[in-house]
Chain A
Amino acid sequence: MIYLGIDTSNSPLALALIEDGVVLIEETANLKINHSLTAMPAIEEMMKKAKVLPADLTHIAVAEGPGSYTGVRIGLTIAKTLAWSLKIPLHSVSSLKVLAANGQGFDGLVCPIMDARRGTAFIGLYEGTGLKSVLADQHSDVKEFLLKAKELGRPVLFTGIDAALHEALIVEVLGRAAHFSSIQNRLPRASNLILLAQQSEESDVHHAVPEYRRITEAEANYNKAQEGQIL
């Protein structure tokens, strides 16, 4: 069994191949390069290095979002097309859970965070042991979410490259309960993605869609206008 893992949901590009419980190769780049341009060449190159042919793949694992809309779509499009056309199962896993896996073993809660501008983020809260979801993945005002996390009264480990952006606010709200991953543990790792995929149900290839966790601006404005009319 050979799993290919693909995470393009934010600026990092994370790829891995795992064969029968052995990590053959794993790559994480944090170079802010256009995934549409680089994801497929990187997959091609990695598989060549590992001497794995497309037909050898038995499973595809993909990070389904939230994150950059375009980034998530690129990963999903590649993963869906590979899985469907090679007739192999697809497993999609929350991009926040993939990041949370960096904090596995932490005695407390793990909070993966992806900045979404204007004081908001894509954010979730997981148990450090077992990665059970404590507060669902969501698009939220960062401060509001932190206040909810604070009520749980447990230490929280923040992970993700955008944790740095919100560090001051996190410390202000959570004080000594706030902990931060070391820098190498802030990037998504596709080996973690694959391990999570192995514990997850198979996705319906055709109907696997990005988990944006946010409606589009056009829809939000439209809904607002509709409400106005009803009132």
Chain B
Amino acid sequence: MINNTFRKKSYVVRRFWLGILLLAFLPFLSPWRWPLLPKTKFVLKPTATDNTGSQFSKEDIATADSRSPMLHSPAITQLADGRTLAAWYGGSREGAPDVEIYGSFWSPQEGWTTPISLMSAARAQDELGRFILKLGNPVLFTDRSGRTWLFFGTVSAGGWSTSDIQVTFSDDNAASWVPSQHLTPAPYTHDGTLVKGEAFEYSDETIGLPVYRGYGVHSFSELLRIDRKGRVAAIYDMADGTGGGLQPVVAPLSEKHGVAFQRYFGDAPHRMLRGETNDAGATWSAPSKTGVPNPDSAIAALTLSDGRLLLAYNNSEDKRDNLTLAISSDEGLTWKNICVLETADERAEPTIEFSYPQMIRDSGGSIQIVYTVNRNAIRHVVFNEAWINSLK
């Protein structure tokens, strides 16, 4: 009798718990709650016709002053209204609590505006509801809907290997920004994730954001897909278990096919890394060394209107004392140098560095590059494909 009662009670209890479990899991059967992302395609930038002839210009956007003796890591995007927005971080020194992310707007007619603060540690702390010690690299991107995204690194404790990434966006050409949100690319906070390479867009309106993570001697790259609400919706591996690659840059070549290039932090020979995808970034080949030297420094790459690739890099294995442009007609397997944009005076001591380039191809077909000059100026170079072709 007692045994039967116990069995009956146990049966009821078990059914109760199973009911609770079923209730919790049931929404997964509903398509609107199913978190699985559809397979998607790269959005290729439309080919603009530029009949203006060969053009080239160079100008400083910002230079060091008493408020910001150090300027570094510029990012660039073209806003929906046609203006260009550049952002960089500046302060007393890299990693100092007074570092802020500054921005400046540009149009060919009006030039660059006076830099304004886009983000500070205090503002990020207030918006994120969490303690923020300092700010790091920004990345800007404007999608087809006209929304401008600002991704940026933050540190709450320690150095860059404990960084996090945050995101904010603007729907009014960077006049106002929504409160920043925290991105979660790893199962722990302070995961050491940072951004550098330009973002790109997928056909389902998600954003592709190349990121990298480093723990002392090991670093590797990943590709995040960010949904319209600014949340990490998918994470793709770009390293295949290999270390040494960081600051990836993705260049889509067709709807499914693309290549990525990475800064190399590892054993000699110091060469830029290259990987390839045939499923719009969901899987990547293991990164392999190219013939392009890389002094453990950031690179920038983009696809030209005719499918060739353009690269901005430091042509050296150990110095950032030059900034060189190169062209590839075979998807980045081999490169031909076409122009030395900057080179340091050999007599200068210490050597001047030109680093952290970022490039976009704007709606008018012009290529715009921003980069750091010796960490005390942010420089902007504009040219078109006619200028590139004139360099043969």
Q: Do A and B truly interact?
A: no
Q: What is A's interface to B at a CB cutoff of 8 Å?
A: none
Q: What is B's interface to A at a CB cutoff of 8 Å?
A: none
